[in-house]
Amino acid sequence: MLRRLAPAAALAALLPALPALPAAPAVPASPAHAAGHPVRHAPAPPAAPAPSAAAVPAVPDRPARAAVPGPGARAVPDRPGPAVAGRIETGTRWRPGADEVRDAQRWVFSAINAAAAWRSSTGEGVTVAVLDSGVDPGVAELRGKVRSGPDLTSTHTSPDNPGWGLHGTGMASLIAGRGTGEDSGVLGVAPDARVLSVRVLVDEEDPEYWSFRGSGASDLSLGDGIRYAVDNGADVINMSLGAYEVRRRDREAINYALSRGVVLVAATGNDGDTKTSREEGRSYWSFPAGYPGVIGVGAVDRNGRRGEFSNDNLSVSVAAPGVGIAMVLSGGRYARAEGTSPAAALVSGVAALIKSRHPRMRPELVARAITSTARPHPREGYDDEVGFGVVDAGAALATADRLAGYRSAVPPPQERFGKGYDAGDPVSPGADPPRMWAYGGGLAASLLVFGGAIAVLLRRSRRRLEDHE
């Protein structure tokens, strides 16, 4: 029987010392990887976009991935697109006790100042849509909290398959996990929030991964998933995924979500350590994090430094812990992950805390509360590695309280979303005012006088010449 999450005051007391992250003991690989290949969820180097568990469009300096289809698999065209933005370490399965898992989380809670936020909000009444590879509703940390939406991947893998929903379940646990007791199991940033799972991509470990990668469903799933989430009660949408291609379908879905007051959070990607990034000092942009209105999240380690893999460009709004992050996977397995995926999930949890306290707050004000309070601020106020700094949940919630009475300065017209706003034909400036007539008349009179004077002078000159002759 699950113990109910402790009240907010007790939650704050759960964070005393910050023990080091436990080392992962070496144990046999899981049956799904008997060949010895670790489970990896990191962007792979494909050749043209579409949601997938490790797909990212090809870029000049991204080496080819060693992963290949299993025995008997047929070759399929690679259609890169939104891919999970992180790597889950389960090749040697981590088997800590439930209390050890919570200990592994303490530095994360401290880094984002979660205890201060929990005094006033735990995410109650908020639904966070997790657009990912699926969420296992049976894991103890999420039991009774998950509503399963459609599978938009056009695949047929059973949720009982050990390769189904690994990444998505992990992200959901970081957002809304309530542990397995007062001091055990994975606790999310918004432990009283609910989860709406929309499956828009496939994990690499899924038997139908390669089939999905070659299908047209990957071109449509993200945009359709966003619209489904908006129409079915999502207050926050977490997208721990990314691709390098800009899609009008996705962009319009994001605009639709913003117009309905839904907060959007996305991972900025894990290509910060490529040759191009090192030589040029910047990374390729990843989408949807790069779209206007989306809170793009980079990753930092326990010392607050940018993870070497985390993308550095102007799509980074804020940063959050993304190295050695404990989570629970489908089937109840525990694992640690690194990437901007878990960082985005943590920020989605902070957004859920704000929306719980201020349900009608506009997405831009939620983003302002989060970005304006991030710490420590870069010396210049902003940089493209950590954005405005590491998210501070307590300060963000306090600032949201002050912003609660604000309204958007320029509310966008409804027509802006979708086909675009049409201002109609240019309007005539109207009749010329009397003053313009006066100015015009005065100028004409002056020209007549000037012309007359010239004519008189010319006549006099001619007479003088005639007299002289």
Kindly list the catalytic residues. Answer: 132, 167, 341
Handedness of CA 142, 147, 150, 152 (dihedral sign): negative
Query: Are 82 and 48 in contact, with CB atoms under 8 Å apart?
Result: no
Structure tokens at 243: 């691709």
Report phi then psi at 318, rounded to 5.
Answer: -145, 175
- Spatial distance between the Cα atoms of 253 and 327, rounded to a whole number of angstroms: 29
Nearest to 42 by CA among 175, 170, 204, 159: 204
- Is 56 within 8 Å of 242 (Cβ atoms)? yes
> Tokens 């139908």 belong to which residue?
208
Pairing of the two strands 194-199 and 263-267: unpaired
CA–CA dist 5, 161 (Å, integer): 29
Q: Angle at CA 319, nearest 5°, toward 315 and 320? A: 145
End-to-end CA separation in angstroms for the chain: 129
Distance CA 228, CA 373 (A): 31
Q: How far apart are CA 317 and CA 423, in angstroms?
A: 32
Taking the C-alpha atoms of residue 322 and residue 317, their distance in angstroms, rounded to an integer, is 15
Q: Look at strands 325-328 and 334-339 and give their pairing.
A: antiparallel
